[in-house]
Structure 1
Amino acid sequence: MKRILVTGGAGFIGSHLCERLLAAGNEVLCVDNFYTGVRRNVTHLLDNSNFELLRHDVTFPLFVEVDEIYNLACPASPIHYQYDPVQTTKTSVHGAINMLGLAKRRKAKIFQASTSEVYGDPTVHPQPEEYWGNVNPIGYRSCYDEGKRCAETLFFDYRRQHNLRIKVARIFNTYGPRMHPNDGRVVSNFIVQALKGEPITLYGEGHQTRSFCYVDDLVEGFIRFMGTDDEITGPINLGNPGEFTIRQLAEMVVDLTGSKSAIEYRPLPQDDPQQRQPNIAKAKELLGWEPKIVLRDGLTRTIAYFDELLKENVPV
């Protein structure tokens, strides 16, 4: 039995990871400051004697005894990370420093949830891990993009300087149950608007593309990555290479919900990437991993989750 720390563990992806680690027989310490994570995501785990929930902000040091660390703590949607951009950068950078310091002290293996945002608005398509990106360092998204890029730098410097066992994953668009209903992400936005019969807001002409990975597939990639030899450090792209335009996504959501919602066009936000698609050749080769759940099936499960929230009158 391992004692595993998951920062951001009450968040969308973190809560699914906690479930998976507990199911494998581990002790899990879930840490979250509940800025975007919600207690509802992990309430069903509180009766498990191997699960512990701690309110803590990773920008402050944490002194606990653990064998492995998954560092997922950071707001990941533009609405949330742009609300307090200074704190977003601090969470990525100071949080990485504090978790790396803990891993160094405990000689623990540590996983960093990085992001496809390190590629910015890419000029290479699809994006391989060797691509250095096209990032605006002073724009509205920079607090997240550059914060995550700096965190990757710290992880590899700790590896080179202290021989720390690191795993760095670059996560592409992920969706599924427990997404924050007000996070401004395209999947949750479209589903909530469709279920409420509100206009579906499409930014630009809807020709920009994204690749959507169901959360269960992503967590499987995390587990496989952490189980690899110490020499396999990443960064490794984790995402679904299936590419869809935002308009195609909107039309699919309308179809699956049976909604009468019309599509409403709005100006494209600054630095919004025109294309985003992972090259997952490394994940296939090194992890034996690729997504299994097609977008239509994953959306059906996600719609059912949001429909239940609306029936329970949870604010969305």
Structure 2
Amino acid sequence: VLISSMDSDSEPEEGGNEGIDEEEESEFEEEDGESSSSAYSSEDESAHLLHRNILFLCEEGQLRIARRRFDSLVGDDDKIRREVFQTGPDGNAALHEILMGGTRDRNARTLVEQILDRSRRWPLPRHAMLTARPPSHGRTALHWAAWENSNLSILRSLVRGNPEALLLRDKKSKGGRTPSEIYEHYFIDESRADEVSDANREKFAFLRNAARRWTGQRLRNGIYAAAIYHFRKRGLTPFDPKDRKTAGVKPRPWFVLSVLGYLLQRETQPLLFHILVFVGKDAKVRYTATKKRKRKASQR
């Protein structure tokens, strides 16, 4: 249950082509027709590829043809659903494949936006796609978008679809980083601060601030869910010491839950939500690497 939206008026405004200056953008637009059709140039082979699924075309880097394939399926919800959410042996969907290859190409950007927009029709498979962490890197779609410096509108869509990804880390062998840490590592070099673009700083600020907000939000969600479970589903009595033992909750958390449970039972939801706003305001997630115990010389 989401108590409040991740979006706020204080978030940076959406940008058009963050991280790409005008000269680079014009260069990409000129090369757009060729950049995603390297191996298959003839019309016959292109026509043949139009019958292949979107995932295969994205794996092969044929994004122009993949986009045409997507457009041709717009009227067939069953086919487009099957191809958008299809995954390969490595667990990657078409969305992952595009983000891994980068979205500087206009076909790539447009196809990502189309997939994110159309997939809203099917919440459950969409959620599965955005929360998936294929084993090769342990990264969600948001991690890949941060890694390849997607534009701000794509980052926003991915955060709205799966805010929990803001706090998840990729595989330890790949750095063990959250999306904001990935972005900072590759695109925010403070030793060369003059070379960091304003657009990149804006995107980094968005990821960092969104992670901070979600840390408190997930705590509030958990507390609210616990209050619902204990005082509505189980029907326990707020502040009752016997029910506290029944619930298996320590005294201080029980007091907080009892306040919320009392408000739930009195049907005063607005006041309950007002109190929850102050819960978890300064919550933080600290990551400490577990140290492996060294073997003694005699045990080697």
| Fold agreement, TM-score > 0.5 | no
Tell me the TM-score normalized by structure 2.
Answer: 0.30
Larger RCO: 1 or 2 (CA < 8 Å, sep 6+): 1
Tell me the TM-score normalized by structure 1.
Answer: 0.28
